[in-house]
Structure 1
Amino acid sequence: MANTAPSKPPYILRHHQPGDLGWIIHRHGVLYHQEYGWDERFEAVAASVAAEFLQKFDPARERCWIAEWNGERAGSVVLMKKTDEVAKLRLLLVEPKARGLGIGARLVDECLRFARQVGYRRMTLWTNSLLVSARSIYEKAGFELIHSEPHSLFGSGLIGETWEREL
């Protein structure tokens, strides 16, 4: 008889620990430079978001999840309070070697689940049009593009996008 039980994901999710936000900043700087040519100003954006998260961290309303695969960090996401009713998804990242395992979608799902659980009514995020995989995850999770605008915050020819969804 074949085993029909659903298989367990080959990764785990956990809450952040000391050093994780530094890793998130580092990997955002390195990966986005390698994959998209973004300059050090993007690393500064990631550092600013991480610093704000750590300095204002409210464990009752905010979270950071780290995905681990084969004993190494493989992905991350941060959920921050924007207002009492609106949560903001930040710093979604999946390591290239771990892509295709469903980590990105699972991290977004965890944000949505937690946001509903703690009483947020809406979630927003900001991304860039060329991040096709991330945009696909957001769209499948029910987010809708509400605004786009050209910018040059960390490279040329970029289009920033704001996505939102009701919870």
Structure 2
Amino acid sequence: MQRNGALYAQEYGWDTTYEGLVARIVADYLDHHDPSREAGWIAELDGERAGAVFCVRGPDDRTAKLRLLLVEPSARGHGIGRRLVDECLAFARAHGYTAMELWTNSVLTAARRIYQRVGFELVDSAPHSSFGHDLVGETWRREL
């Protein structure tokens, strides 16, 4: 959680309200975790943490949510982001979900490319002021 906030502050200039959002997402996961329907992964490269992602219950019992995809700068270009997203999708399918959604921001172009490549489609976008910046939030979805 701290790493997520630090990296986004460094790369995008986001303020500590982003770290607060990450902390709430992780706390909700820990407080309400259902191992039969939710999971998280930490990727390693050469024995070092290289990235992470969560698959959690979405707005209904048929929709999963992909949360907090992160790939360390030193690990980018190794396919780790794609592998983490693939793990989320496989887990969701295997655990009875029929769709997956995620929310991101348009400035996160590398993540958006991964989502597009694995079949997510942009279903909504809206400007917002968050994390100390004017951004465009996006909701992406794909059927499983």
Q: With the length of structure 2 as denominator, give the TM-score of the two structures.
A: 0.98
**Secondary structure in structure 2 of the residue aligned to 1:115:** helix
How many residues align? The count is 143
* 1:133 partner letter: A
Gaps of 5+ in 2: none
The one-letter code sitting in structure 2 at the alignment partner of 1:103 is I
Q: Distance in 2 between matches of 1:96 and 1:139?
A: 21
Residue in structure 2 matched with residue 143 of structure 1 by the alignment? 120
Distance in 2, matches of 1:85 and 1:78, equals 16
Give % identity.
Answer: 60
Letter in 2 for 1:49: I
Aligned-pair Cα RMSD in Å:
0.6
Shift of 1:155: 2.2
Runs of 4+ aligned structure 1 residues displaced above 2 Å come to none
Alpha-carbon offset, residue 94 of structure 1: 0.3
Q: Which digits, 9 at most, give the CA deviation of each residue in 1:37-65, with x for residues without a partner?
A: 00000000000000001111111110000
**Superposed displacement of residue 99, structure 1:** 0.3
Per the alignment, residue 94 of structure 2 pairs with 117
Instruction: Verify: 1:94 aligned to 2:71, yes or no.
Output: yes
Q: What is the TM-score when the length of structure 1 is the normalising length?
A: 0.84
- Equivalent-residue separation in structure 2 for 1:96 and 1:147 (angstroms): 28
Q: Distance in 2 between matches of 1:106 and 1:96?
A: 16
Return the offset for 1:72. 1.5
Greater strand proportion: 2
1:135 Cα offset (Å): 0.1
1:52 to 5, 19, 28: 28
Instruction: Tell me the SS of whatever aligns to 2:111.
Output: helix
Alpha-carbon distance in 2 for matches of 1:98, 1:26: 18
